[in-house]
Chain A
């Protein structure tokens, strides 16, 4: 068997993997990345100098303790539920859950709040990917959604009050975010459909446009005169997501997470059970065939971009209405993380929920590591990257394999025939 045949056989195996197998593969990758991370932390711990060893193995002292780092990274994101006295490895069997552990703690709120916004961003990118479009502009669309929501609600908020007012304002805010994000995404969509302008270029450039517009408006026309920062005036509480069971200071609302989960199922339904979803998916798989089957290619491109941008815009609206309470420049890179979330999920809406949760845990956990250990933040960033890379790679190869391999790979016993076109087997 030549190397090429072998690689194709591996790819084919990945493409054929069932959902259960894919979950198992991802879990194994996660475990492997933790093991590699372990070695990295130990190595970094030999390269720096410190007073006393954090941990020693085989008589060699290390400055950083990998167990501590991963404990804080994963469990810290949940608010450290595990009792320190519970340590089966050392023969200590206390209660598993730490006494005084409050499930509704601030760190879990941070985790879920990140997850919520990444669900919107991930869904946005996934919809575009399914239509065969690389929407790198989710960040810009999200910024536009956030900006429009913060500005419009400022003018509307004084006219309503009470629980009903909150409902009206939240609905309006999300609609405005969706409209602004969708309209901003329609530009590259139309350019791609009617002028064949590469959407990767246009969306990247429009990210800068969005950031510049946001900076201009937040620094001049709508600036909060009381503040040094470039931010709009704070919205009144009536316009913000109510903190259902968490503390108000935690900037997280179960309502928003619930809405995100509902959207996950709605997008899944739209893609798999509706005519529009069929159009989107077929144009993504094989545009020429879709055209032949009566799909209006131009319209489908614009529609899927608008839908994608609207989802990103909703993410921006939720960021304003749940996390910030106003618009401030320097929006975190949710839109770019959404690309990774989507690939991690194999562009499946249902998978986006889980991928976003993994991202949320890593984001929130890295804060706990940063504050609670001497490990430099750059190293934590490397660990985060490793985990994402390992988990995403099998999915990534699956996508590549599905694209380049011939159709008749369903028979495992059959030797793989020559691939259609020459590709880089990297």
Chain B
């Protein structure tokens, strides 16, 4: 006698599974029949929408390997995904998306895509500079497979690399806040403290790439007024909103009028802090006054980095047959690869003379009259 009643157990488990199955019928969604891709009404960013057509019916099969952190970060990966979505509206694509958890998994993910025969992928997009080491091996092993990488250069004949001039876009963000911090300026839910000439920068994980943002920002501020003090802090994580909030609160507490972030989802905390303190924040990667619209009343501008353009261009090349491997495409201010976009809600309050100064700085960088440093040590 073990004290178990087997029949009772079966009744319980059997009963629950029947309940579960009958509950299924009530779920919304499910296949819509043999139609083409349906629009998703969930609005969740993690939903894959892959057409299950046979491979010869589509224009191209695309494999996406996102950066660690995955989709739903509101900046980098989502921006890459929107390039894929745009291309999918233009052409008839089938795509598969993968979100590795660790840097050491990249090689395996890339290999899985490259050796896949059902479907054969026409292009494999690798997002983020941490994939570069793995990709230089994978691309050499699969010379007939076309690849693209964002944020890094891989010198293989079958890889197209896309790099951005983050420092140049950040320079403009620096110019904007430097001109406003010493004036009395208010817009939306925020205003400057006129007697304090302080601005802040919050970074995610300290690395050469994020330091490009900081360097450009510092240079942009210093070229307006080198009296302005610039506080900078690296939270150590791209997905730590509370850490971002702490860092930004400290800066606002020290009189900072603006905090610019390059920290992915950590930057959400910066926006929270800005709202609490009634000061301004500058977004990054996407127009965050749209993607994080609950903070639109404090986001004065965003330094947009068009990862989507890179993805779209690479897909364009594959579909139209113009893809030539081994190219490096720099995306700077000139081709809108990076740009300073004013906030959707309060951006129009920026005085026109400030806007003109920023515009002329942009032109000066394009013309080569201003060269922006890429390391904070050189500012």
Q: Is B352 an interface residue (CB 8 A)?
A: no
Q: How far is the CA of A304 from the CA of B332 in the complex (A)?
A: 57
Q: Is A168 an interface residue (CB 8 A)?
A: no
Interface presence of B193 (CB below 8 A): no
Asked whether any CB of chain B lies closer than 8 Å to the CB of A323, the reply is yes
Contact of A46 among B27, B48, B53 (CB under 8 A): B27
Q: Measured between C-beta atoms, what is the minimum distance from A143 to chain B in Å?
A: 13
The verdict on A371 contacting B47 (CB below 8 Å), with A39-B20, A39-B21, A377-B70 known, is no
Given contacts A215-B236, A371-B96, contact A49 B32 (CB under 8 A): yes
Is A149 part of the binding interface, using a Cβ–Cβ cutoff of 8 Å? no
Contacts known (A228-B152, A367-B109, A377-B70); A249 close to B141, Cβ less than 8 A:
yes
Q: Which of B36-44, B74-82, B181-189, B243-251 contacts A (4 or more CB under 8 A)?
A: B36-44
Q: Which residues of A contact B (CB under 8 A)?
A: 1, 5-6, 9-10, 13, 39, 42-43, 45-54, 60-63, 106-107, 110, 212, 215, 219, 227-230, 249, 251, 319, 323-324, 328-330, 332, 364, 367-368, 370-372, 374, 376-378
Point out the residues of chain A lying under 8 angstroms from B36, CB to CB: 51
Q: Are B2 and A13 in contact, with the CB atoms below 8 A?
A: yes
B107 and A249 within 8 A (CB): yes
Q: Which residues of B have CB within 8 Å of A106? A: 108, 111, 115
CA separation between A376 and B40, bound complex, in Å? 14
Shortest Cβ gap from A99 to chain B (Å): 13
> Do A367 and B105 touch (CB < 8 A)?
yes
Q: How far is the CA of A370 from the CA of B116 in the complex (A)?
A: 13
Q: Is the CB of A47 within 8 A of B116?
A: no
Min CB–CB distance A68 → chain B (angstroms): 12
List 4 extra interface pairs beyond A229-B130, A251-B107, CB under 8 A: A39-B20, A47-B27, A110-B108, A332-B102
9 example contacts (A-B, Cβ-Cβ < 8 A) are as follows: A39-B17, A48-B40, A49-B38, A62-B30, A106-B115, A212-B236, A229-B207, A376-B47, A377-B99
CB < 8 Å neighbour of A328 from B28, B103, B115: B103
Chain B interface residue bracket vs A: 35 or more
A330–B100 alpha-carbon span in the complex (Å): 13
Q: Given A215-B206, A228-B129, A367-B108 in contact, is the A62-B31 Cβ separation under 8 Å? A: yes
Question: Given A43-B27, A50-B52, A61-B31: A323 and B104 within 8 A (CB)?
Answer: yes
With contacts A51-B35, A328-B103 taken as known, whether A376 is within 8 angstroms of B207 at the C-beta atoms is no
In the complex, the answer to whether B105 meets A230 with C-beta atoms within 8 Å is no
**Binary interface encoding of chain B residues 223-248 relative to chain A, with 1 for a CB under 8 A from any of its CBs, else 0:** 00000000000001000000000000
Q: What are the residues of chain B within 8 A of A227 when measuring CB–CB?
A: 132-133
| CB-based contact B116/A330 at 8 Å | no
Given contacts A46-B29, A251-B107, A371-B116, contact A51 B24 (CB under 8 A): no
Q: Are A371 and B113 in contact (CB under 8 A)?
A: yes
Chain A residues, Cβ within 8 Å of B253: none
Contacts of A60 in B (CB 8 A): 24-25, 30
**Chain B residue at smallest Cβ distance from A38:** B17
Q: Which residue of B lies closest to A52 (CB)?
A: B52
List chain A residues, Cβ under 8 A from B291: none
Report which B residues bind A (CB closer than 8 A).
Answer: 2-4, 17, 20-21, 23-25, 27-38, 40-42, 46-53, 63, 68, 70, 96, 98-105, 107-109, 111-113, 115-116, 129-130, 132-133, 137-138, 141, 151-152, 205-209, 236
Q: Which residues in B have their C-beta under 8 angstroms from that of A212?
A: 236
A10-B4, A48-B42, A376-B48 known; A219-B206 Cβ under 8 A: yes
Q: A43-B20, A48-B42, A50-B38 are in contact. Are A371 and B109 (CB under 8 A)?
A: yes
Q: List the B residue with the shortest CB-CB distance to A247.
A: B141
Q: A5 touching B3 by the CB < 8 A rule?
A: yes
Complex formed: what's the CA distance from A52 to B115 in Å?
A: 25
Q: Give chain A residues whose Cβ lies under 8 Å from the Cβ of B32.
A: 49-51
CB distance from B122 to the nearest CB of A (A): 15
- Whole-angstrom CA separation of A249 from B28 in the bound complex: 44
A175–B9 Cα distance when bound, in Å, is: 53
| Cα A48 to Cα B151 with chains together (Å) | 33
Residue contact A47 to B28, C-beta cutoff 8 Å: yes
A49 CB contacts on chain B under 8 angstroms: 29-32, 38, 40-42
Q: Which A residue sits closest to B208, measured CB to CB?
A: A228
Cα(A395)–Cα(B80), bound, Å: 44
Contact of A371 among B34, B40, B112, B236 (CB under 8 A): B112
Known contacts being A46-B24, A48-B42, is A228 close to B108, with CB within 8 Å?
Answer: no
B52 contacts which chain A residues (CB < 8 A)? 50-52, 54
- Is B20 in contact with A1, judged by CB distance below 8 angstroms? no
Give complex CA distance A9, B212 in Å.
65
Complex Cα distance A45/B102, Å? 27
| Known contacts A249-B137, A372-B112, A330 near B68 by CB under 8 Å | yes
Taking CB atoms, residues of chain B closer than 8 Å to A374 are: 48, 50, 96
Please measure, in the bound complex, the distance between the C-alpha atom of A62 and the C-alpha atom of B21, giving whole angstroms.
12
Pairwise interchain contact A6-B3, C-beta atoms closer than 8 A:
yes
| CB neighbours of A61 from chain B (8 A) | 30-31
Question: Among A47, A63, A215, A370, which residue has the most Cβ atoms of chain B within 10 A?
Answer: A370
> Which A residues lie within 8 Å of B236 (CB)?
212, 215
Query: Looking across the interface, which residue of chain A has its beta carbon closest to that of B101?
Result: A332
* Nearest CB of chain A from residue B44's CB, rounded to whole Å: 9
